């Protein structure tokens, strides 16, 4: 019997339990996958703790990403067959469609072929980070060649994906992180510029880097008071794409600056992409081609075994990682 991971109460990593289930049936328009690797995301932690935008109905599954081999296909599925190596695109309804399991059933619309250039470990950690970054930078932000773009929390998997996507389209990523240690790491990983916000003046460094040109797009996972510094550094008509709330402080809206520069500040979540078929199709093409060509390359921080799921979540919560955490099956 295949095993899955569920939780029966909200809380820390200790609430995650391994349980056996019958092999799930394959319905019309879906595929069954024998999972080889699972990608972990910060959203998994927030969901488990009851702090996410989606509420868990207990007992609940979790997990947005996986890669593996198709075991069976449902009625109406013609584009995939048994034996195909695939990745799972993050879906809505995390509690019901969670990917933490040895065998999962997924709607065919949420399945993509695994690029030959990627291992199962890499493929399991690709789609959440690149979909999120693509949506914020390209679909919403309209980033193009030669644009400056600020990417906050840049040592996260989404931050690193955003750096790669910015470079892929010819833009100039300015990455922010907290410490000099992480600054050096993200500079080595492709950021044109990096700022250690605990030790450097954010406003001063942005002014030095962008000068009179200004910054048209801020891809912000943090929020908090620093949005005022961002607004001051932006070019007329710029946009702050807010996709996270890592700061414990309130996030002000810099109204006077926004009026004087015609700025936009708006919230964004990856579900905007996966629930819009036309935008999702464009995202799939962009990301798959980037992965195949090597322009986009997932960075793996650490891997854990399936029986080490609690330890994997403890490491995820430690914030020590640079890149993706993967659980192998």
Record the pTM.
Answer: 0.94
Assess whether 236 and 316 both reside in one domain. no
Lookup: tokens for 190: 């492709």
Lookup: tokens for 171: 């833009």
Assess whether 133 and 220 both reside in one domain. yes
Position 290 in a domain? no
Mean predicted confidence (pLDDT) in 261-282? 96
Position 173 in a domain? yes
Position 289 in a domain? no
pLDDT confidence of 319, banded at 50, 70, 90? confident
Assess whether 120 and 226 both reside in one domain. no
CA distance 167 to 177: 18
Assess whether 157 and 201 both reside in one domain. yes
Assess whether 172 and 236 both reside in one domain. yes
For residue 16, give the H/E element and its range. strand 16-20
SS3 232: helix
Which residues touch 293 (CB under 8 Å, ≥6 apart)?
none
Position 305 in a domain? yes
Paired with 302 in beta bridges are: 325
pLDDT at 145 over 90: yes
pLDDT at 183 over 90: yes
Mean predicted confidence (pLDDT) in 206-224? 95
CA distance 325 to 305: 11
Given 271, 290, 320, the domain boundary residue is 271
CA 206-208-210 angle, to 5 degrees, is: 60
Domain of 30, in residue numbers: 3-126+298-328
Contact predicate 246/153, CB 8 Å? yes
Lookup: tokens for 317: 């919560």
Which residues touch 57 (CB under 8 Å, ≥6 apart)?
95
Position 82 in a domain? yes
pLDDT confidence of 71, banded at 50, 70, 90? very high
pLDDT confidence of 320, banded at 50, 70, 90? confident
Assess whether 210 and 112 both reside in one domain. no
pLDDT confidence of 211, banded at 50, 70, 90? confident
- What is the CATH number for 98? 3.90.180.10
The domain total for the chain is: 2
pLDDT at 95 over 90: no
């Amino acid at each position: 019997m295949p095993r899955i991971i569920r939780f029966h109460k909200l809380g820390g990593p200790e609430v995650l339990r391994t349980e056996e289930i019958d092999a799930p049936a394959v319905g019309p328009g879906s595929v069954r996958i024998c999972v080889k690797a699972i990608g972990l995301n910060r959203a998994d932690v927030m969901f488990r703790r009851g702090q996410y935008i989606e509420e868990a109905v207990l007992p609940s599954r979790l997990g947005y990403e996986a890669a593996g081999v198709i075991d069976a296909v449902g009625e109406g599925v013609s584009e995939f067959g048994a034996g195909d190596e695939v990745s799972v695109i993050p879906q809505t309804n995390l509690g019901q469609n969670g990917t933490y399991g040895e065998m999962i059933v997924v709607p065919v619309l949420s399945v993509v072929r695994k690029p030959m250039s990627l291992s199962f470990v890499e493929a399991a950690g690709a789609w959440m980070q690149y979909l999120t970054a693509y949506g914020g930078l390209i679909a919403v932000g309209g980033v193009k060649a030669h644009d400056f773009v600020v990417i906050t929390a840049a040592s996260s998997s989404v931050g690193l994906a955003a750096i790669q996507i910015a470079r892929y389209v010819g833009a100039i990523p300015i990455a922010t992180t907290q410490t000099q240690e992480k600054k050096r790491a993200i500079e080595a990983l492709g950021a044109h510029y990096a700022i250690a916000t605990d030790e450097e003046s954010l406003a001063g460094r942005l002014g030095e880097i962008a000068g009179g040109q200004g910054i048209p797009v801020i891809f912000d996972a943090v929020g908090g008071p620093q949005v005022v510094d961002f607004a001051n550094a932006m070019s007329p008509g710029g946009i702050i794409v807010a996709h996270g709330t890592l700061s414990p402080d309130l996030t002000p809206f810099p109204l006077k600056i926004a009026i004087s520069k015609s700025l936009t500040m708006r919230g964004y979540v990856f579900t905007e992409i996966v629930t819009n078929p036309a935008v999702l199709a464009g995202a799939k093409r962009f990301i798959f081609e980037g992965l195949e060509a090597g322009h986009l390359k997932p960075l793996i921080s650490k891997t854990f075994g399936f029986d080490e799921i609690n330890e994997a979540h403890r490491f995820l919560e430690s914030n020590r990682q640079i890149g993706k955490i993967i659980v192998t099956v």
